[in-house]
Structure 1
Amino acid sequence: MPISLTREHDGRVARVGFDNAGRGNAFDDHALRELVAAMQAAAAEPACAVVRLDMAGRHFCGGWDTSSFAGLAGATAESVAAGLRDSDTQLGRIRDLPVPVVAAVRGRVIGFGAGLLAALHLPIAGQNARLTLPEVRFGFAPAGVGFTIARRLPRPQAYALLTGVTEATAADLLGWGLVARVVADDDLDAAVDEVVAALAAVPGDTLRGVVGVVEASLATGSPERAYEISAATITSREVHA
């Protein structure tokens, strides 16, 4: 599936495209690794301040490609668990990017797509976006996605979603903190354009500093690293220019 990388706003915006629209933007191991590598390469450019992730077609993510399930025949629990850990490690690399990732969330977000969504920094949803977790219909319990949902949602709603009893609306995703905004579907691309342009206008490495403050604060529960990052931005030469 094609993965593209282009740069805009004098290199401050890296635009990464993922196109497996024929299968609803479903993932397998190879596709996930390729996407993560492209996003890491984009953020590694010193001029880059924000990554824009464009998921092609009508749906944000169709989950894990069910055609890969045949490969699980005869697999041990240990090898399957290792594969699940690896996919979550890949998502963690998106979460750990030094610049924010902005994306439009439209249509369906299925299964693994919830993990991808949670790894992004500034996802913006169309009002008709829907999240479903169909794993139980295949006879297994969600792993990393289950962990993410259990940590982010109220307990009864986590059970309802993980057992397939209900689906989440865009308003639910906003209320649970899984998206930053909800806009009319027809306005989604324009809303993403607006956010990306605003971020691209932030001077210097400030956005990298903001990402560092947020992620260090969440990881440690302490403001100490935030003091250091903020001080570095305050005393940088660009502040005095």
Structure 2
Amino acid sequence: MPISLTREHDGRVARVRFDNAGRGNSFDDAALRELVATLEAAAAEPACAVVRLDMAGRHFCGGWDTASFAGLGAATTESVADGLRDSDAQLGRVRDLPVPVVAAVRGRVIGFGAGLLAALHLPIAGQNARLSLPEVRFGFAPAGVGFTIAHRLPRPHAYALLTGVTEATAEQLLGWGLVARVVPDDDLDAEVDAVVAGLAAVPGDTLRGVVGVVEASLATGSPERAYQISAATITSGELRA
């Protein structure tokens, strides 16, 4: 499926487009690996300050491609568990990118899409975006997505979503910290444009420093690494009076 990488704003912005719109932007192993590799290549360019992820079509993500479910019945429990670990490890590589990833979240966010959403740094949602977790209808309990939802949401809401009793609105996603902002659907692209342009104007490697501060703080629970990262940005010569 087409995954493209272009660069804008003198290389400060890397724009990655994922287009599996014909299947609702669903994923399989190959598509996920290709997207992650493209995002890493985008962020690896020293000039890059921000990555914009464009999910083509009407929906952010249709989850895991159900065409891949057919062979699971004959697989062993451990082999399936290994596959689930691997897909979560791929999402971990997105979380570990050294620059922020901005994305417009529109339409449906289904199943695995919740994990992708949680891996992004600055997802911005249209007001009609909806998240649903239909895995129970296929006869299985979600793994990595279940872990993410259980840790990010109040317990009753986690159960309501993971059992398929309800779906989440954009405003709920905002309240739970799964998106950074909610805007009218008609304004979504313009809002993402403005956020990306504003980030591209941040000097030097400052955004890489911000990502380092946030992720080190979350990982360690200590400000010690943040002191070092901040000091490096202050002494880098990019400081503005």
Fold similarity call, TM over 0.5: yes
Q: Distance in 2 between matches of 1:123 and 1:168?
A: 15
Letter in 2 for 1:61: C
Q: Corresponding residue for 2:224? A: 224
Give the structure 1 partner of residue 28 of structure 2.
Answer: 28
Structural mapping, 1:78-117, within 5 Å? 78-117=78-117
- Whole-Å Cα distance in 2 between the matches of residues 219 and 163 of structure 1? 30
| Matching residue of 1:194 | 194
Separation (CA, whole Å) in 2 of partners of 1:150 and 1:46: 36
Q: Secondary structure at the match of 1:15?
A: strand
TM-score (norm 1): 0.99
Q: d(CA) in 1 for partners of 2:68 and 2:238?
A: 50
Partner Cα separation in structure 2 for residue 121 and residue 201 of structure 1: 18
1:59 and 1:31 map into 2 onto residues whose CA distance is 16
Per-residue deviation at 1:100? 0.1
CA deviation vs aligned residue, 1:34-89 (integer Å, no higher than 9, x gap): 00000000000000000000000000000000000012131000000000000000
Residue 240 of structure 1: how far off its partner (Å): 7.5
Instruction: Tell me the matched-pair count.
Output: 241
| Letter paired with 1:144 | G
Q: Provide the identity percentage.
A: 89
Q: Provide TM-score, normalisation by structure 2.
A: 0.99
Residue identity matched to 2:159: Y
Distance verdict in 2 for CA 1:135–1:232, change over 3 Å: same
SS class of match (2:5) = strand
Matched, 1:205 2:205: yes
Secondary structure (helix, strand or coil) at the match of 2:10 reads: coil
Map of 1:44 onto structure 2: 44
The one-letter code sitting in structure 2 at the alignment partner of 1:177 is G
Is the aligned partner of 1:58 residue 2:58?
A: yes
Correspondence for 2:171: 171
Matched with 2:74 is 74
Gaps of 5+ in 2: none
Residues 240/180 of structure 1: CA separation in 2 closer, same or farther (3 Å cut): closer
CA displacement 1:110-163 (0-9 Å, x = unmatched): 000000000000000000000000000001000000000000000000000000
One-letter amino acid of the structure 2 residue matched with residue 141 of structure 1: A
CA distance in 2, matches of 1:17, 1:235: 36
CA distance in structure 1 between the partners assigned to 2:137 and 2:92 by the alignment: 27
Distance 1:174 1:45 in 2: 31
Instruction: Return 5+ residue gaps in structure 1 as ranges.
Output: none
